[in-house]
Amino acid sequence: MEHVLDNPVWNALISGNLSLADGNGEIRFFTKDVSPFVGLKSNSSLNFRHLHDSVTHQDPVILISNQKINIPDVWNVLYCIEGFQMVYEQLELSNKATIAIIPLQKKHVPQMLALTKLTNPGPFAERTIDFGHYYGVFEEKELVAMAGQRLHVFGYAEISAVCTHPDHLGKGYARQLLKYQIQRIQATSGIPFLHVRSDNERAIKVYESLGFSTRTNVYFCVLKKA
């Protein structure tokens, strides 16, 4: 039986992220100023063609799959990145954050865009903040670390955009932000999960040390209309 996290974007777009969804009963996607991720109910040739006809912009889109798939030639595959999907199923964390963690608002978007451009934790656009639950750490009014939530897949919530300014690495900011997000998700009876590139060994070690375990391999396929 297929697990809801086997097709995370599609299942998010029909559940927790429904308010941000465009598309129909077979293909769904976010507007490009929110996120480039797209979801298909099934990876059929017909659905890839429907997606091609429904997405009105020419920017790349990203499909997440837990298996390698054949993509019809109406799409150019720019590249596919291998990664892991990791889930946190431990008991509730008891220790609280020891630093000031600030909720991020629209006024912080320029700093959020600058930080994600510098650190490249994954796609981040003008309205990505609309996913909600973004929090950050500031030093002298400068945003130096942040983490948020992105895909909400029925009872699961994805932690995303975990990043720290290179000048502030080693201070434990990412770890504390991760713990904070885990506690927020568990407080709503949700299960935290995340995605990480398979070559990001530093991040994987941090996630494993906190209690995340790898559920499955995933592929991030970056597609552009042919």
Tens-digit pLDDT profile for residues 101-135: 999 999 999 999 999 999 999 999 999 999 999 99
Q: 203 and 99 in one domain? A: yes
Over residues 135-185, the pLDDT tens digits come to 999 999 999 999 999 999 999 999 999 999 999 999 999 999 999 999 999
Structure tokens at 25: 């009963």
Q: 165 and 134 in one domain? A: yes
Q: 77 and 99 in one domain? A: no
Output the domain CATH number for residue 60: 3.40.630.30
Phi–psi pair at 10, nearest 5 degrees: -55, -50
Residues 6+ apart with CB under 8 A from 144: 115, 136, 137, 138, 164, 165, 167, 168, 173
Q: Specify the DSSP element, H or E, that contains 98.
A: none
pTM: 0.95
Q: 15 and 47 in one domain? A: yes
Count helices and strands (H / E) in the chain: 5, 11
Q: How far is CA 26 from CA 37, 64, 71, in A?
A: 15, 16, 16
